[in-house]
């Protein structure tokens, strides 16, 4: 058998999250169904990140053992033909058997898109329109969560974690009406990014005092904001440490595609 890795992007709007749930449409469920169809046997995938319902991904990594030796370019063509329009496999590689998308050392980056202006009907579900957003307050509040902290109070109840300390790198960029928050870390707690964004926004709109994020880190959950809407959150990239993966990208496989 051969271990195959895919880079997958998806629009999370019509999914009940990434992780498989019986009788519900999930990204994992759809991927496993299609890959099992190709393999002609039941296939279970490994994945890098368990995104919630409504959360999107530019760069989710999955892997699985294949009974067939299919060229990466051919995998791209097969998956393009079988997957629904809201999931796309755009990179494929053969990887060592010990590779695991979540356990192999890596850094993840999530971005959250805020808008200072009303959203068009084509943008809803992909950003959060926030009235009265004070970007200067937002920048100042970010400094309270930079670096290594115990983020237990910025997590939802879910799968227990023995270690809740994370080193977080946060940056802010402005692009027209959008304010884009980037979060980088080797790992995130369940619901962590959306709870942080919700708190930052409530500070930046005057609903919470400046410095509330630091006090939440110290255990004052009364100053924690509501979880930000799922639609503004995107899994942007996963960067593996010291792992030389030779990806075949979809754009490289289109030369024979006459459509």
Active site residues: 52
Please check whether residue 112 is in contact with residue 198, taking contact to mean a CB–CB distance below 8 angstroms: no
Provide the angle, in degrees to the nearest 10, between the axes of the packed helices 27-39 and 72-82: 120
**Cα separation of 101 and 216, whole Å?**
31
In angstroms, the CA 84 to CA 138 distance is 38
Q: Are 109 and 182 in contact (CB under 8 A)?
A: yes
Q: From 139, 153, 151, 161, select the one nearest 224 (Cα to Cα).
A: 153
| Strand partners for 3 | 65
SS3 content of the chain, % helix, strand, coil (to 5): 25, 30, 45
Place of tokens 């890795």: 5
**Separation between Cα atoms, residue 192 and residue 165, nearest integer Å:** 12
- Gap between the Cα atoms of 242 and 212, Å rounded: 38
> Is 81 buried (19+), middle (13-18) or exposed (0-12) by CB count in 10 A?
exposed
CA distances from 243 to 95, 164, 240 (A): 9, 26, 6
User: What tokens does 150 get?
Assistant: 């115990």
């Amino acid at each position: 058998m051969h271990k195959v890795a895919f880079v997958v992007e998806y629009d999370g709007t019509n999914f009940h999250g990434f992780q498989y749930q019986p009788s519900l449409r999930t990204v994992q469920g759809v991927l496993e169904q299609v890959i099992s169809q190709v393999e002609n046997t039941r296939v279970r995938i490994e994945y890098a990140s368990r995104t919630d319902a409504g959360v999107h991904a530019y760069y989710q990594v999955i892997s699985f053992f294949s009974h067939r030796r299919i060229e990466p370019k051919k995998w791209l063509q097969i998956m393009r033909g079988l997957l629904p329009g809201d999931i796309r496999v755009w990179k494929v590689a053969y990887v060592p058997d010990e590779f695991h998308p979540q356990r192999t050392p890596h850094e993840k980056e999530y971005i959250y898109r805020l808008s200072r202006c009303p959203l068009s009907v084509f943008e809803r579900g992909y950003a959060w329109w926030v009235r009265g957003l004070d970007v200067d307050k937002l920048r100042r509040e970010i400094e309270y969560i930079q670096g290594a902290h115990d983020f237990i109070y910025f997590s939802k109840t879910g799968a227990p974690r023995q270690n809740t300390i994370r080193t977080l790198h946060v940056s802010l960029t402005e692009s027209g009406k959008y304010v884009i928050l980037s979060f980088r870390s080797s790992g995130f707690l369940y619901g962590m990014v959306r709870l942080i964004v919700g708190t930052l926004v409530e500070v930046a709109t005057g609903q919470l005092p400046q410095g509330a994020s630091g006090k939440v880190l110290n255990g004052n959950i009364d100053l924690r904001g509501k979880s930000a809407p799922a639609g503004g959150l995107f899994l942007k990239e996963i960067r593996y440490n010291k792992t030389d993966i030779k990806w075949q990208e979809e754009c490289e496989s289109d030369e024979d595609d006459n459509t």
